[in-house]
Structure 1
C-alpha cells in the first residue's frame, strides 16, 4: 500500500471533498482522484460513496481511515525525527515564486512545509520568472520557480506543475459562449497583460510571434486583482491559469485552440551548494505535486 495514496485517501475522508483535499495537499484534483481509484483497485474494495458532490466512507473505508490516521502520524513522526538527525533543525530556504502561483498554488504547500519543518526559516519572494532566474544565477535566491522551456544551462531544474493557460473574459464577452479561442481571435482583442519578465507575458509574446502579430496591449500591470477587475468591466481580456479564477468571480475561462500548456520547474544553480534545508524543500514540493 503506497503511503502517498493512503495520505490522499485520509485527506479526502477527513475533509469530505476531493477539491478540498487537493487544496490541503497542494496537488491537482485529478491526481487525488487517480490515487484513490488506484488504491481501491489495489485493495479490491470500495472505500468511498460518491453521491454527486457528497463524499462519505463505506464500512471498509471507515476501517481503513482509522488505520491511516495512525500510520500517517507515525510516518510523519519518523520523517521529522530523521530530518533532525540529518541536521534539519536549523537552516534557511530562500525561494522565489511567480505572483499567480504565490497567491494561489503555493500557500498550502508553504504552510505544510513549515508544519513539517517548524525550525527552518522560510523566506518567500514574489516576482517575474525572468527576475527570479537572475536572482538564482546571482546567488540571491536558493530556489526559484521558472518556466521549464526557458531553463538556462547554468540552472538545474525539476518540473513540478503543468497547467493550462486559459483565455479569460467577462461573462458578457462573445468568447464566453465559445468552446475554444484561436490565437488569431485572441489577438484581435484588447489585452490586459502582466509586464515583461513574467511567465504569463512570455507565453503571450511567444504566441504572438508564432502568429506573426503584434499584441494590442491596452493595460499592463502585475496586480492580479486589477487584471481581473479590468476584465470584469469589459475593458480587455487576458489569459490566466485556471487555478486563479474562482467560480463566483463573474469571469469565464476558455481554452485556446490548440490548447496551451505551461510547464513550471523548481530550479537552483547547477554548480551551487544546495543545503539540506533546500533539498528538503525540493523533495517536499515534488512529493506534494505528485511528481
Structure 2
C-alpha cells in the first residue's frame, strides 16, 4: 500500500523534473508506477495536477500551488532527519541532570567536565534538589537522569550504583579528647547530634540502621545541607553525621576529627537513576557511560 507521503514524494519528483521517466529513474521506480501514483493522487484530491503533452508534463496552476507546499514540507522533513542525526551524533542537544548540591560539588563535577570536553555542543542543565525531589521531577520528565543517594525503593526507576560512601560521625576540637577512643553507637546517640533533615535519604539510611539495632535518636540540630553539618561540628555545636568521602578537606586539615566507632555503619551507594519506561537519549547514554567507566 502506497502512503500519502510516498505519493507526494513522487509528485514532487515529477514536478521538479517535468518528466515521468526522469522521476522514475530518481525514485528507482518503473514509469508506469510513477504514472499510477500521480493518477491516484489526482483522484484523491479530485483535481488535475499535470498537463500531459508528447514532450513531457508541466504543472497546472493548481499543481504549481501544491508543489510549493509539498516542497516546503519535504524540506522540513529532511531538516528534521538531519537534526535527529545531529542528536544521535551528539553534535547538538541538551542533557538535563537532577542532582543534589553536595553530590554535585563533591562527586559530579569531574564527570560534567569530561562530558563537556568530549561533547561541547551538548548543553548541560543542572537541576538541584533533595534525592526525593529529584526523583519526583525525573518522573515528570523535567530531567533525563538523576544522580542520587541510595538506597531507593522505587520499582519505576532503573538504579545504577556508581560509588560506595561511608557515613561517619565527626567532631570539633572541643570533643576530640573525650572521644579519643572507639565508642559504641549507643554512646554516640547520647551526645548532641547534628543530622540532616528527616526527609533526606542519607539521614533515613543511618536512622533506619540505628533503629535496627534498637537505638533511637533525638538530634540537637537538623540541617538542610552537608556543608552546614561540617560547619556546625567545626564550631563545636555537636557531633555531626556526614559522608566521609565528602568531608576529606575538613578531616585532612584538622578542622574536624572522625569519631572512631566500635561498629561502623554499613556503606551505601550513590548512583544514577532513570525511568525504566523511557529509553535514554544518546546524550544520557554517553554521560552514564562516562560515569561508569571513569
Q: Same fold (TM over 0.5)?
A: yes
1:191 to 182, 190, 193: 193
Equivalent residues in 2 for 1:84-123, closer than 5 Å: 86-123=88-125
Equivalent residues in 2 for 1:91-240, closer than 5 Å: 91-173=93-175, 174=177, 176-178=179-181, 180-240=182-242
CA distance in 2, matches of 1:109, 1:171: 35
1:266 to 257, 267, 272: 272
Match of 2:29 in 1: none
Q: Does 1:250 align with 2:255?
A: yes
CA distance in 1, matches of 2:217, 2:101: 22
Shift of 1:88: 0.6
Equivalent residues in 2 for 1:41-60, closer than 5 Å: none
Give RMSD over aligned pairs.
2.2
Shift of 1:220: 1.7
Give TM-score scaled by structure 2 length.
0.63
Equivalent pairs counted in the alignment come to 205
Unaligned runs of 5+ residues in structure 2 are 1-84
Other structure's SS at 1:286 match:
helix
The runs of at least 4 aligned residues of structure 1 exceeding 3 Å deviation read 83-86
Shift of 1:243: 2.4
CA distance in 1, matches of 2:218, 2:187: 12
CA distance in 1, matches of 2:204, 2:87: 43
Shift of 1:84: 6.8
CA distance in 2, matches of 1:185, 1:259: 14
CA distance in 1, matches of 2:204, 2:172: 23
CA distance in 2, matches of 1:202, 1:259: 13
